[in-house]
Structure 1
Amino acid sequence: MHIAVLGAGVVGVTTAWFLQKQGHQVTVIDRQNQAGLETSYANGGQVSVSHAEPWANPSAPLKLAKWLLRPDAPLLYRPRLDPYQWRWALSFLAQCTSAKAAHNIRQMVNLGTYSRGQLQQLRDELGLDYDQQKRGILHFYTNPEEFDGALEPARLMRDLGCDRQVIDATRAVELEPALSPIRHRIAGATYTADDESGDARKFTQLLAEQCRSAGVEFRYGTEILDFERAGDRLLGALALTDGQHHTIRADRFVLSLGSFSAVLARRLGLFLNIYPAKGYSITVPVKDPQAAFKVSLTDDEYKLVYSRLGDRIRVAGTAELNGYSRNLNFTRCRAIVRRAAEVMPNAGDWDRAEFWTGLRPATPSNVPYIGRSHFSNLYLNTGHGTLGWTHACGSAAALADIVDGRKPEVDFAFSGV
């Protein structure tokens, strides 16, 4: 069967890999000139089952109210004359209950644990090297209220099999000596030894090469504009390459275009409650290897993650709900540099920060769309928000099973529209 995967980010490329493994002819289509150049390009680098607490939780509405007028707020909402933004925001608020947060944590922990295992198998099978670190993820808190608020979600995660252990500041510094400069300010921490980190772009591009060697076709520089359809079936994808309009034919299609999945789905009358959450990152050279961290870190109060990628440091995070613009907001960029330099002043050459921004495809619940749509030959693997790298391999393996009519191994509420 010929399957067209729309999107060559980490989710699209892993989807292509698992589909070809099951014997399908696969074509991957992307508007960029190579894989991994959109949201996968410079993300936080964490493969973090422990990052399963959704943005929508009981404490979120009050935090949002306090952050509303702060240009450097960890989560920034900029109201626009956009009905899809308002619908997303209202749905987000509806998810901010204890019961819904617990349900969403369950979904993300289950998918994340399964996905991490799939990633490890794939890495061992292909011998991929993408600056991975297998030293766990340490969440640290410099605000006692933030630490107290993390205890219940951490307990829920442990109950679901994610071994997120609560530790004190002394143990945190033992695990990661680079935190010594702020030892006196750490109110508490959690540590998940099984979590990992690595360069998502490097992984995506290496896997794309493996896909190509296995017979997957990549059509870069190609933008999908619409679909040709008959009844509940797609006949082809209407595309634009080098100024030429053409139709891409396939037996089945997989939509993995990140934030742009929702825009294209509307062409078919499908509503995906996905809105772009613009994230920022900085990448800097390691300045002092002895002062630089090796354990991947999460600064929950500031919504930042830190990953060591060889001789580089990546710090990423924050979210800005402000449409599809990818213009850099330097106030937010400088806030990341300022906080990172405060936490580990000698770790990186902070004056040489390279700034980047990308659009994370966020759902109100943080739970992605994975499954078949109302169209008989259109499948969805999109809406992974901040956890696309974490969930990519598991989502892809599960979707490949769904395409072949098998029940996925993971306990997850698969859904389409």
Structure 2
Amino acid sequence: MPHIIVLGAGITGVTTAYALSRRGFDVTVVDRNRYPAMETSFANGGQLSASNAEVWNHWSTVAKGLKWILRKDAPLLMNPAPSWHKYSWMGEFVRNISNYRANTLDTAKLAIASREHMFAIAEEEGIDFDLERRGILHVYYDKSAFEHATNVNRLLIEAGLDRHAVTPDEIKAIEPALAGQFYGGFFTPSDSTGDIHKFSRGLADACQRRGVRFLFDAEVRSIAAYRGVEVNWKPANSLSAAKLQLLEADAIVVCAGTGSRNFASMLGDRINVYPVKGYSITVNLDDEASQAGAPWVSMLDDRAKIVTSRLGKDRFRVAGTAEFNGENRDIRYDRIRPLVDWVRELFPSVSTAKVIPWAGLRPMMPDMLPRVRSGSQPGVFYNTGHGHLGWTLSAATAELCASLVTARMERRHQGGDAA
């Protein structure tokens, strides 16, 4: 069978490698880190959320961004420093506002399909990733926000999602640990949560059992594709002047998150991914009061743009914010503090004495849709640009990508398609 290189060992890369290996391909995964899922797939919000499929391309998003531009603790923050990539990306983002409805529907349908694939994989491979199938609760503090959510809900229902409005009393019944006063909410019983890092590591182990090779600590310096693929790489973080090494294959799939734009450029393609930073905290629930006071039902607080997930008995993940600041992975106190304060306000019995902060870069496309496509060169494919829904969409896009690779490689073998 043909040899396929997968660039990236995050959630998208390992699901793609798994889907390709199930179709009989010889697969090598290449990553610059020493272990799988060490970047954006390390500590995200944990939600497998078709209910969060609304794309951001809406005038209300633009208005909020302008309103919050001078607030360091704003849920949506943009560094106004000049950057051609950032401002050109935002121009494309605005142009895609006209596609808001269609793109939201497409994303929701993909998310619904994806979770069935993921559950099947976890069951078949015996992967324990702290899965909680208790639904996701969205809460709103005022009538205006709730009315916008009602419009979004109509789209999600049209896409096939089981989601319904709930009253303030019903919110408290669904999650008794939650404090605060709310105008209303929406509940999606079919959504779930889990630990993306544990799933990715478990799936990487499953891939290795199937014969997939992993090349870690590998910094890719160049890629060429012409009737085959050549990847030149060197050991990452090497203290010595290591020589470039060559890895050859019949095809390549770029699943490199925010690095995909650079790799696509090497291959003569344009994948306009922008790194949108998100933050999370993992609250260690070390005492009985904290364990009893933390929620089991996952939440999305629309006003604060914060999501939550319960990861087993003794961990509570809280994540949110969007920061447009380029390839910046710094963990800022003024961005972490609102997450901690939010926990203290809405779940006052939870101790925040032991909180682990984290920041990761979401690979966002201007239209908020992932790119699953072939490249301009033969044997080049992409599965990238999943934005804030990589965990939610990955199992479905991996299947789509593997099917595309299979079809194109069969046509190449038959001499009917150069790509």
TM range (shorter): over 0.9
Tell me, what secondary structure is at the counterpart of 1:201? helix
1:277-325 deviation per Cα after TM superposition (whole angstroms, max 9, x unaligned): 0000000112522221111111111111100001100001111010101
Counterpart selection for 1:346 from 349, 354, 358: 349
Shift of 1:110: 1.2
1:136 aligned onto 2:143 = no
User: Structure 2 CA distance, aligned partners of 1:373 and 1:164?
Assistant: 37
Whether 1:110 aligns to 2:126 is no
Q: Who is 2:407 aligned against?
A: 405
Amino acid at match of 1:212: Q
Moved over 6 A (4+): none
Contact kept, 8 Å, 1:143 with 1:301, in 2: the verdict is: no
The residue type equivalent to 1:10 in the other structure is I
Deviation at 1:145, TM superposition (A): 2.0
- Does the alignment pair 1:73 with 2:69? no
Partner secondary structure for residue 326 of structure 1: coil
Whether the aligned pair in 1 keeps the contact of 2:225 and 2:377 (CA below 8 Å) is no
TM-score, length-scaled by structure 1:
0.93
Q: Is the 8 A contact 1:363 1:385 kept in 2?
A: yes
Amino acid at match of 2:106: Q
Q: Distance in 2 between matches of 1:229 and 1:400?
A: 19
Per-residue CA distance 1:363-398 (angstroms, 9 max, x = gap): 122111012111221110000011000011111011
- Which residue does the alignment assign to 1:229? 225
TM norm structure 2: 0.93
Q: Is 1:333 matched up with 2:319?
A: no
Describe the superposition over 1:16-74 as per-residue Cα deviations: whole angstroms up to 9, x where unpaired: 00100000000000000010101000000000011011111131121111111111111
Listed one character per residue, the Cα deviations across residues 172-221 of structure 1 (whole Å, up to 9, x for unaligned) are 11111111x21xx2111111111110000000001101110110000000
1:410 aligns with: none
Residue 373 in 1 paired to residue 375 in 2? yes
Aligned match of 1:361 in 363, 385, 409? 363
- 1:44-193 equivalence runs, <5 A: 44-97=45-98, 100-179=99-178, 181-182=179-180, 185-193=181-189
1:218 maps to 2:214 = yes
Q: What is the CA-CA distance between 1:107 and the residue it aligns to?
A: 1.4
Output the amino acid matched with 2:344: A
Matches within 5 A, 1:281-300: 281-286=280-285, 287=287, 288-300=290-302
Q: Which residue of 1 aligns with 2:411?
A: none
Q: CA deviation at 1:351?
A: 2.8
What secondary structure sits across from 1:23 in the alignment? coil
Deviation, 1:234, is 5.0
1-structure distance, mates of 2:14, 2:123: 17
Q: Is the 8 A contact 1:254 1:381 kept in 2?
A: yes
Pairwise CA RMSD? 1.4
How far did 1:335 drift? 1.1
- 1:315: which partner in 2? 318
The corresponding residue for 1:268 is 267
| Correspondence for 1:414 | none
Contact 1:60 1:96 in 2 (8 A): no
- The answer for the alignment partner of 2:251 in structure 1 is 252
Number of residues paired by the alignment?
399
Task: Report the counterpart of residue 24 of structure 2 in structure 1.
Answer: 23
Q: Shift of residue 357 of structure 1?
A: 0.3
d(CA) in 2 for partners of 1:67, 1:56: 17
Counterpart Cα distance in 1 of 2:93 and 2:333:
27
Structure 1 residues not aligned, in runs of 5+: 407-416
Matched residue SS, 1:227: strand
Q: Which residue of 2 aligns with 1:204?
A: 200
Letter of the 2:231 counterpart: A
Alignment-derived partner of residue 413 in structure 2:
none
| Aligned-partner Cα distance in 1 for 2:52–2:272 | 21
1:202 match: secondary structure: helix
Structure 1 counterpart of 2:233, one-letter code: A
Determine the C-alpha separation between the residues in 2 that align with 1:22 and 1:4.
14
What CA distance in whole angstroms lies between the structure 2 residues aligned with 1:345 and 1:257? 39
User: C-alpha separation between the residues in 1 aligned to 2:232 and 2:134?
Assistant: 45
Residue 415 (structure 2) aligns with: none
Partner amino acid, structure 2, of 1:401 = S
